[in-house]
Amino acid sequence: MLDAFTAPGRFFRGNLHCHSSRSDGDPTPARVCAFYRDAGYDFISLTDHFMERFGYPVVDTTPFRADGFTTLIGAELHAEGIDNGEIWHVLANGLPLDFAPLMPGETAAQLAQRALDAGAFVSIAHPGWYGLTLDDALAMPPAHAVEAYNSICDWETGRGDGNYLIDQLLNKGRRTGVIATDDAHRYGEEACRGWVMVKAESNSPDAILSALKAGAYYASQGPSIHHIEIDGDHLFVETSAARSMWLVGHAARSTVVMGRGITRARLPLEKFSGGWARLIIADEQGRRAWSNPLFV
Ligand SMILES: [Zn+2]
Ligand SMILES: [Zn+2]
């Protein structure tokens, strides 16, 4: 959790999950990149569905890198195997362009491991959207992150939340980061509603990818987390104007500070001792931001 606030550099805003006309999205890759660049993003990862049977590729977005805007090569990976019969959706950011398609007989766990071995930042996408269980997630190699919020799943099905899985994985001792994404396809109302703020020394693809893998980021729908620091037996937090600041931990452990326009708080850490804690804040509009977990 604290890496994002102690690492040198500045925060860069990025979307780790979106689609183009190279799979089932509407705009071309060039237009997707232009859309986010014009919206003020510092980077994106275009993650078209990588499905050889439909001719969907790992898309090369390097031609759309520009001054102040970069891309991570990415894909959404699929393989059989969740318990309720759906195919897996695994997000991989920072793949090599020659990443091989699903191999005959390859399981989702093997595919995810291959993406990890290839150096990617690997996340479990939209678990709430398709009823992914804790057992499904535990059968995978430890991923870097889980989507706490997926905008299009929220917009189209009301199932954009993945916080239940993050908490259950942490309760089982499985460390995971917390991301928010758009998963944009149409680039209408679902776009620019979930992103990550990554702390890095530069906006190069390598620096962003290293910072992601180091956990130096937080996720947001709007609010900013400016600073988090352990101050004795409390967590000191500085944010944009918030209505609620929650610290949640193992099982039902939680603590809260509420008010109007709060920008600083000291949250007691005592009840999280020996376990984990993660910060969630909400602004007046109910938009949230999520830190990565802290191990107390
Ligand atoms: Zn998906
Ligand atoms: Zn997707």
Ion ligand 1 neighbours, Cβ < 5 Å = 89, 125
Dump pLDDT digits (tens) for 65-102.
999 999 999 999 999 999 999 999 999 999 999 999 99
The answer to whether 45 touches 239, Cβ cutoff 8 Å, is no
pTM across the whole model: 0.97
Judgement on whether residues 177 and 120 belong to the same structural domain of the protein: yes
Instruction: Give the number of the ligand closest to the Cα of residue 185.
Output: 2
Nearest C-alpha neighbor of 276 from the set 143, 168, 124: 168
Boundary residue ending a domain (187, 220, 253): 220
Distance 89 CA to ligand 1 centre (A): 5
Distance 124 CA to ligand 1 centre (A): 9
Distance 183 CA to ligand 1 centre (A): 8
Instruction: Give the number of the ligand closest to the Cα of residue 128.
Output: 1
Q: What percent of the chain has pLDDT over 90?
A: 96
Judgement on whether residues 193 and 254 belong to the same structural domain of the protein: no
Q: How many CB atoms lie within 10 A of CB 39?
A: 14
CATH label of the domain that carries residue 280: 2.60.40
Judgement on whether residues 259 and 148 belong to the same structural domain of the protein: no
Cα angle for residues 26, 31, 37 (degrees, 5° grid): 130
Judgement on whether residues 211 and 230 belong to the same structural domain of the protein: no
Dump pLDDT digits (tens) for 20-63.
999 999 999 999 999 999 999 999 999 999 998 888 899 999 99
Distance 185 CA to ligand 1 centre (A): 11
Judgement on whether residues 116 and 256 belong to the same structural domain of the protein: no
Distance 8 CA to ligand 1 centre (A): 33
Chain Cα centroid distance, residue 168: 17
CATH label of the domain that carries residue 104: 3.20.20.140
Judgement on whether residues 268 and 207 belong to the same structural domain of the protein: no
Which structural domain, as residue segments, surrounds residue 63? 3-220
Backbone angles phi, psi at 264, to 5 degrees: -145, 145
* Residue recorded with tokens 């992914």: 132
Judgement on whether residues 148 and 251 belong to the same structural domain of the protein: no
Distance 18 CA to ligand 2 centre (A): 6
Q: How confident is the model at residue 3 (pLDDT cuts 50, 70, 90)?
A: confident
The answer to whether 76 touches 50, Cβ cutoff 8 Å, is yes
pLDDT value of position 52: 84
